[in-house]
Amino acid sequence: MSEILIIKTAALGDVLRTTSILPGLAARHEGARILWITAPAAVDLLRTHPLLTGVIALDPKIPSEVNQAIDALSERPFERVISLDDERPLCCLASSLNTESLHGAYARVNGSLAYTSDTAPWFDMGLLSVHGKARADELKIENTLSQPAIYAAMLGIEPGKPELHVPRASTARALAFSGHHKIDAGVPLIGLNTGAGGRWLSKQLPVERTIALARLLTRELKGKVRFLVLGGESEGPRNDAILSGIGPSAIDGGTKNSLFDFAALVELCDVLVTSDSLALHMAIARDVRSVSFYAPTSAAEIELYGLGEKVVSTAPDYCSYKPDADNSSITPGRLAAAVLRQLAIAKRA
């Protein structure tokens, strides 16, 4: 039986959205075993996927783990190795493997890093770009294709959709949470995941704008709306300020949820307002409608599969990947209008 190995350990949201390649790989290589190497923190995003045979946890920053993976896998025959990270340890791992075909980033014999020509449409826009960083940045701005479309074309497969299979226990906890907070199916529940961790401050919607958005929606919906405030562990103080500013209609989703429990809370929402983050990709994977906003990162790379709407910065430094990119054009008014449109679509469904 043939085996395919995927190497993708980057940000959690990137790992989840990359699961879009699994249906196409499974269809093209019927009966093949598909393995995935990822970061320990991302294992839960993959381990319940029915098209994966196994998930291998590896921290590329720990040399002993990389060496162990090389020792364990270097003699194992693979039909395809798909190497989607540009970190040196992972490129060295990809180069050490016994495979009929390698796609993506690898280390040359002289130690320099490179990528296979078939994956140029993706890596030309990244840190390894043969065109240099300036042109790579231009290509990213010029790009109009989503990541799933690019990946599918370069791997010779049909485009797919990300999937996340949430265990029943997490769904049960979310339903208990809903009952405890008396969430009424007749009153829209808007998720607010407007933070983005510490690295990308310009990916966040400021606290005051998040509160203004909630107040605007409350007025437009004549008070018949509730808000579920979501975020990660580092966003506790920020979320507390949002909860306080919105008042009784806001529900604290907590900041210490497991990945599965967080996804189950996202699934309670009628519409999720979110940055370009893990929550967005969870919403896509779980068929939750979303309104997502973009300033430093590329909106074109995100495929919503007809499940939402994008609000894109109109500032000159849009898609610059600068931590301090101007996101002032992501206004409460633009976001509220998009939310109302998505609620109307959800109501008709």
Query: What was the pLDDT predicted at 129?
Result: 96
Query: What was the pLDDT predicted at 183?
Result: 95
Q: Which residues are within 8 A (CB) of 142 and not within 5 positions of it... i.e. 6 or more apart?
A: none
The Cα 159–Cα 22 span in angstroms is 9
Query: What was the pLDDT predicted at 196?
Result: 84
By the 8 A CB rule, do 302 and 280 touch?
yes
DSSP string of 87-102, one letter each residue: -HHHHHHHHHSEEEEE
Q: DSSP state, 205? A: P
Query: What was the pLDDT predicted at 160?
Result: 97
The Cα 111–Cα 216 span in angstroms is 56
By the 8 A CB rule, do 94 and 84 touch?
no
Q: Where are the alpha helices (DSSP H) in 9-105?
A: 12-18, 22-28, 43-46, 63-73, 88-96
Per-residue pLDDT for the chain (349 aa), expressed as one digit of tens each? 799 999 999 899 999 999 999 999 999 999 999 999 999 999 999 999 999 999 999 999 999 999 999 999 988 999 999 999 999 999 999 999 999 999 999 999 999 999 999 999 999 999 999 999 999 999 999 999 999 999 999 999 999 999 999 999 999 999 999 999 999 888 999 999 999 876 678 999 999 999 999 999 999 999 999 999 999 999 999 999 999 999 999 999 999 999 999 999 999 999 999 999 999 999 999 999 999 999 999 999 999 999 999 999 999 999 999 989 999 999 999 999 999 999 999 887 6
3-state secondary structure of 165: coil
Is 287 exposed, middle or buried, given 0-12, 13-18 or 19+ CB atoms closer than 10 A? exposed
The amino acid present at 340, given as its one-letter code, is: L
Query: What was the pLDDT predicted at 258?
Result: 97
Query: What was the pLDDT predicted at 251?
Result: 98
Query: What was the pLDDT predicted at 347?
Result: 82
User: What percent of the chain is helix, strand and coil (3-state, nearest 5)?
Assistant: 40, 20, 40
Both structure tokens of 293 = 């906003």
The Cα 112–Cα 92 span in angstroms is 10
3-state secondary structure of 114: strand
The Cα 326–Cα 37 span in angstroms is 36
Query: What was the pLDDT predicted at 348?
Result: 77
Both structure tokens of 241 = 């300020």
By the 8 A CB rule, do 116 and 43 touch?
no
Strand bridging mode 271-275 / 3-7: unpaired
Query: What was the pLDDT predicted at 67?
Result: 94
The full set of domains in the chain, from first to last, is 3-155 (3.40.50.2000), 169-348 (3.40.50.2000)
Query: What was the pLDDT predicted at 198?
Result: 65
Query: What was the pLDDT predicted at 76?
Result: 93
Query: What was the pLDDT predicted at 49?
Result: 97
- In 3D, which of 65, 125, 66 has the Cα closest to residue 90? 66
For residue 110, the number of C-alpha atoms closer than 13 Å in the C-beta half-sphere is: 2
Query: What was the pLDDT predicted at 318?
Result: 96
3-state secondary structure of 11: coil
The Cβ of residue 202 has, within 10 Å, a number of other Cβ atoms equal to 22
